[in-house]
Amino acid sequence: MALRGSFIRLFKKQFNSVFKLHNCSHSVAIIGAPFSKGQKRRGVEHGPQAIRDAGLLDRLSTMDYPLHDYGDLNFTHLAKDECFMHVPFPRTVGLANKMLASAVGSAVEAGHTCITLGGDHSLAIGSVQGHYKHCPDLCLIWVDAHADINTPLTSPSGNLHGQSVSFLLKELQDKMPEVPGFSWLKPFLSTSDLVYIGLRDVDPGEHYILKNCGIQYFTMRDIDRMGIQRVTEMSLDHLLSRKQKPIHLSFDIDAFDPSLAPATGTPVNGGLTYREGIYLAEEINNTGLLSAMDLVEVNPTLGATREAVEATASLAVDVIAASLGKTREGAHISFDKLPSPGTTYKADNEQKICL
């Protein structure tokens, strides 16, 4: 394993320096997106603060790249924003996503790997679109209990956080009504550049779309059957075997089992284990192609206890750190050689991770 890891890192180093991939940056930007109008439960707007309180910046600062904290965006709640059909807050969600798209776009353009902290999952509309503006060949890995691919016409709840992907896909263009607040957005993603992992609560309209558009998806049953290693390998092969593409990872914390991530709005039993989630994040990091990521749906007001909230937020931190290169085997880049008794050699206190 160690050998394979170092080979991959060596390959990545060579590959990056030869091709100067803009998406394989060695600096990270954090954007807080305290947004909750893509669903009806209050509290998910406090997700970014909960993830910060769980020590995100401290954890990332032990790694070997510059960190840029862009702070939290300030979204406007539009007073006059009637439902569109049964979809609540369409203009408010549209405007917030437009704003987020521009923030993510600037961060990616500046050469950072951009991490967006949610907030509800409707914000992926803006974050993927902003990423796309500067990386038009991106591919999307959606890790979630849900497919979030309802159109406004199939959605049982009306909530936009269950519809984000339908706004992005070219193949669904003629099935989408004109939702007020979204005239700035043109669908740009092909179904062949999308993979789902972790699904276990899919609505009938979503199932129709997944099947009929030939979308690659792996349910929890597939993970039970093949294991996370095979599922990850097949996902990455599907997206990257034709061409190496910048990866957008959209990670809904409800992909994890509710026993690990209880503080979330739509928990579903039978989710990812801690090790499955971290393994997936590590493998995505190993591609060297992670270019932007969302970590969404941490809702600190929904945990039964303070411990439950802290466990959920700290899991979010672990997934982000693993996606950015924190390994379970450790790293020894701060040691050129082992100190022997009697030498004055002092190891750097800061642990540096070799990306």
Ligand X SMILES: NC(=[NH2+])NCCC[C@H](N)C(=O)O
348 is catalytic: no
Q: How far apart are CA 150 and CA 278, in angstroms?
A: 28
| Closest distance of CB 254 from Mn ion, Å | 4
| Closest distance of CB 337 from Mn ion, Å | 47
Q: How far apart are CA 237 and CA 5, in angstroms?
A: 18
312 binds ligand X (CB under 6 A): no
Q: Are 89 and 37 in contact (CB under 8 A)?
A: yes
Closer residue to Mn ion in complex, CB, 45/254: 254
For ligand X, the binding residue among 94, 118, 152, 162 (CB under 6 A) is 162
Q: Are 199 and 223 in contact (CB under 8 A)?
A: no
Between the alpha carbon of residue 187 and those of residues 35, 132, 190, the distances in Å are 22, 11, 9
Q: How far apart are CA 355 and CA 340, in angstroms?
A: 27
Q: How many CB atoms lie within 10 A of CB 273?
A: 14
58 is catalytic: no
User: Which residue numbers belong to the known binding site?
Assistant: 121, 144, 146, 148, 252, 254
Q: Are 188 and 171 in contact (CB under 8 A)?
A: no
By CB under 5 A, name the binding residues for Mn ion: 121, 144-146, 148, 252, 254
Q: Which of 119, 147, 111, 110 is nearest to 33 (CA)?
A: 119
68 is catalytic: no
Q: Which of 72, 283, 294, 297 is catalytic?
A: 297
Site for ligand X in 133-152 (CB under 6 A): 146, 148, 150
238 is catalytic: no
Where would I find the H helices in the chain? 2-19, 47-53, 56-61, 90-109, 124-134, 164-168, 204-212, 220-240, 274-286, 306-323
Binding mask 258-287 for ligand X (x = CB under 6 A): -------xx---------------------
| Closest distance of CB 315 from Mn ion, Å | 14
DSSP line for 192-242:
GGEEEEEE----HHHHHHHHHTT-EEEEHHHHHHHHHHHHHHHHHHHHHSS
For ligand X, the binding residue among 203, 257, 276, 282 (CB under 6 A) is 203
161 is catalytic: yes
Closer residue to ligand X in complex, CB, 265/277: 265
For ligand X, the binding residue among 45, 72, 193, 254 (CB under 6 A) is 254
Which residues here bind ligand X, judged by CB under 6 A? 121, 146, 148, 150, 155-157, 159, 161-162, 203, 252, 254, 265-266, 297
Instruction: Enumerate the active-site residues.
Output: 121, 144, 146, 148, 161, 252, 254, 297
